[in-house]
Amino acid sequence: MQTPLSDATPRAAQRRPWLWLGAALVAAGVLSCATVTRTVLVPPQIPGATYVGSKTCEDCHDNITRDFPSATHANLQALGDHALEMGCESCHGPGSVHSEVGGGKLNILNPKKSPELCLQCHLDLRGKFAQRSHHPLGPNRLTCGDCHNPHKGPALPTAGLSTLAQNEACLKCHPAQRGPHVFEHEAMREGCTTCHDPHGSVNPRLLTARNANLCLKCHFQERTPAGVRIGGQDHTLLLGRGTCWTAGCHEAVHGSMVNSSLRY
């Protein structure tokens, strides 16, 4: 006859393998959480060239380096032993060959002509330019320098205090939206980026929202037992006809010369 096991030792022995397994899983979880994947940015390279420092650039480009301390990118400059690998050469590459031959476009990198150098650091924008709607970016098309000044002042064209001045970066390529209009759309005073993401969007025309929700961020929607009213007008049936700018109601979204309801 088999003697019954005591309540203490046998049950603990039966549970021990599970305890060890649980401890192993917890340890694996801790190790996995401690593993951090980081993107390492390597300064640009030019075959046969070495870094000479931003002071050397001042000899020929004093008109640019004079204002560079005010630029957002001036914060990239490093102090100490690694200073020669930062500053101008952090974007343009090592400048020894460029300096020795007295200039030349073939022996220095030019981010204004190719946005690829900018996107090496601005990885979030690389993803935006890969979305459905985006500006035509690349050589002989738009580049980052067409909208951003990396050498002077804030790199963001929207960093100024005047919202009308913020639009200038967009309006120099989109003059039809400039106006003046007899009936203006007040959203233009808030800036183009109120409705558009200039780098890319999953929505058509770089829009930050794909339907009437874009307009409803500013235009109050009132729900009543009879339906939906916007701007004091019944929109119950109109909202089902498409977006505000494609349903035949408000096509002139940037401003109209003939109609206060922003129609052509």
Q: Is residue 159 in a domain?
A: no
Give pLDDT, residue 174: 93
Instruction: Read off the pLDDT of each residue in 45-69 and give the average, rounded to a whole number.
Output: 91
131, 146, 161 - which closes a domain: 146
Same structural domain, 129 and 62:
yes
Position with higher pLDDT, 94 vs 166: 94
**What pLDDT band is residue 36 in, cutting at 50, 70 and 90?**
low
Instruction: Read off the pLDDT of each residue in 174-191 and give the average, rounded to a whole number.
Output: 91
Contacts of 54 (CB under 8 A, 6+ apart): 65, 68, 77, 86, 87, 88, 89
Q: Is residue 112 in a domain?
A: yes
146, 162, 190 - which closes a domain: 146
**What pLDDT band is residue 177 in, cutting at 50, 70 and 90?**
very high
Same structural domain, 197 and 142:
no
Q: Is residue 62 in a domain?
A: yes
In angstroms, rounded to a whole number, what is the distance separating the alpha carbons of residues 86 and 39?
A: 18
Give pLDDT, residue 2: 47
Residue 34 has pLDDT above 70, yes or no: no
Q: Is residue 20 in a domain?
A: no
Which pair of tokens denotes residue 8?
Answer: 């203490």
Same structural domain, 142 and 220:
no
Q: Is residue 58 in a domain?
A: yes
Q: Is residue 107 in a domain?
A: yes
Q: Is residue 121 in a domain?
A: yes
Give pLDDT, residue 179: 87
In angstroms, rounded to a whole number, what is the distance separating the alpha carbons of residues 236 and 229?
A: 7
Count of domains for the chain:
2
Least reliable range by pLDDT among 37-46, 47-56, 199-208: 37-46
Print the domain residue range for 196. 177-256
Residue 80 has pLDDT above 60, yes or no: yes
Q: Please say whether the beta carbons of 183 and 256 come within 8 A.
A: yes
Q: Is residue 123 in a domain?
A: yes
Same structural domain, 192 and 252:
yes
Same structural domain, 185 and 251:
yes
Same structural domain, 112 and 190:
no
Instruction: Read off the pLDDT of each residue in 9-30 and give the average, rounded to a whole number.
Output: 53
Amino acid at position 140, single letter? N
